[in-house]
């Protein structure tokens, strides 16, 4: 992150401070601290809270953490000019933070004004964030393709997961979600955490990969036997379902409108009318795997330059990539120079990879 990008984000916080009449804002949630700092904010990846808090006023901000994390944050995660305040690790950070009626926070409690709208500041990507997420999506796609010469039908899903995880780490990408399903499980489970089951003649891999807070979502499908005409046809029809979601993925359009366009397309493409009931269809992403899971009642508008990932599924197939909302049509992120491509509604989409 450059200082110029930080200044943009500081101003966004100041605008919220003015709106809610507070003098200080404290960011504590991991997605928000990642957004503002541009760095890694976790130690255990299972915690919702960041390993530091950011105390922001209109003319200043500083990062508050313990003496364990302070030196590493200053050296590796923050800007050289950032101020880091530390306290002994055995003292609770909560009691050292500003409080009172003119202090706002992205979390409730602590005698502070809870301002949920602070979460929305990260929804529209800056120009630099869009470039970084584009690179993350490209690296994710390349990592997935890199394992294709090392997979075979006799491997277990867990073994495949190990290859994927290693390939992502080689690209400096953390695994936030990893779903792996072979032929036995791919039609039974929509979010298949890997098991000791052998993959057999078909393999589905879904990832949410993170670097410095930003997350790209990608799914790729591999066949270890020649792909039948029926299977190809099913996949093409599912790509057309995704295209319907994308057709309404425009700045200012309610999420519900985009959802209804995609959900109704299942029937048009010959799938069961309730096919979309079996799994959520995706929604905005960025600093969480999904900021919001879209449905027919999510009427909030899509934001300019908001990251989105739709993920329609049917008959053991799944489509998923990362996009950025623009005025008339979304921009697909990530260059995928390795996977076979299918042109659908003006977008090149990853095809079924036959390695029989």
Instruction: List per-block mean pLDDT (blocks of 10 residues) for the chain, which spans 356 residues.
Output: 95 98 97 96 78 97 96 96 96 93 94 97 98 98 97 98 98 97 96 97 98 98 97 98 98 97 98 96 97 96 98 98 95 92 96 95
Return the CATH superfamily for domain 3-122: Creatinase/prolidase N-terminal domain (3.40.350.10)
Instruction: Please give the backbone phi and psi of residue 20, each rounded to the nearest 5 degrees, phi first.
Output: -105, 10
Question: Of 3.30.565.10, 3.40.1690.10, 3.90.230.10, 3.40.50.40, which CATH number belongs to 127-354?
Answer: 3.90.230.10
| Tokens (6 digits) for 125 | 């990507």
- Nearest 10 degrees: Cα torsion 191, 193, 199, 201: 10
- 353: tokens are 């990879």
For residue 204, which of 176, 174, 224, 234 has the smallest C-alpha distance?
A: 224
The pLDDT value given to residue 1: 87
Domain extents in the chain: 3-122, 127-354
Given the DSSP bridges, would you call strands 103-105 and 24-29 parallel, antiparallel or unpaired?
A: parallel
Residue tagged 């760095």 (tokens): 39
Please name which of 83, 27, 66 lies closest in space to residue 74, comparing C-alpha atoms.
Answer: 83
Tokens standing for 274? 């309730």
Q: What is the pLDDT of residue 46?
A: 67
Report the SS3 class of residue 151.
coil
* Per-residue confidence (pLDDT) for residue 282, from 0 to 100: 98
Classify 246 as helix, strand or coil. Answer: helix
Q: Do the beta carbons of residue 152 and residue 224 sit within 8 Å?
A: yes
């Amino acid at each position: 992150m450059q200082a110029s990008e930080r200044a943009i984000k500081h101003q966004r916080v100041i605008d919220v401070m003015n709106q809610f009449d507070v003098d200080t804002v404290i960011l504590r949630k991991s997605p928000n601290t990642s957004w503002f700092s541009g760095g890694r904010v976790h130690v255990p990846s299972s915690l919702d809270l960041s390993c530091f808090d950011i105390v922001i006023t209109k003319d200043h901000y500083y990062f508050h953490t313990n003496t364990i994390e302070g030196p590493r944050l200053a050296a590796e995660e923050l800007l050289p000019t950032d101020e880091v305040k530390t306290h002994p690790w055995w003292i609770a950070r909560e009691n050292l933070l500003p409080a009172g009626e003119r202090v706002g926070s992205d979390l409730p409690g602590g005698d502070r004004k809870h301002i949920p709208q602070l979460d929305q500041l990260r929804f529209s990507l800056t120009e630099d964030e869009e470039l970084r997420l584009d690179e993350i999506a490209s690296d994710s796609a390349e990592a997935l393709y890199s394992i294709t010469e090392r997979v075979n039908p006799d491997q277990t899903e867990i073994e495949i997961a190990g290859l994927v995880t290693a390939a992502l780490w080689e690209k400096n990408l953390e695994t936030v979600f990893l779903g792996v399903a072979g032929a036995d499980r791919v039609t039974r489970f929509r979010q298949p955490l890997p098991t000791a089951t052998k993959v057999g003649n078909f393999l589905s891999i879904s990832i949410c990969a993170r670097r410095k807070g930003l997350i790209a979502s990608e799914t790729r499908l591999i066949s270890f036997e020649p792909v039948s005409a029926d299977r190809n046809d099913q996949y093409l029809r599912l790509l057309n379902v995704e295209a319907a979601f994308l057709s309404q993925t425009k700045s200012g359009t309610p999420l519900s409108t985009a959802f209804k366009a995609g959900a109704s397309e299942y029937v048009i493409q010959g799938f069961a009318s309730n096919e979309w009931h079996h799994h959520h269809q995706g929604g905005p992403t960025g600093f969480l795997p999904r900021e919001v899971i879209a449905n027919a009642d999510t009427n909030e508008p899509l934001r300019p330059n908001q990251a989105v990932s739709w993920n329609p599924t049917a008959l053991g197939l799944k489509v998923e990539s990362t996009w950025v909302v623009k005025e008339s049509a979304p921009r697909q992120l990530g260059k995928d120079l390795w996977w076979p491509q299918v042109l659908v509604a003006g977008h090149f989409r990853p095809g079924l990879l036959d390695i029989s």
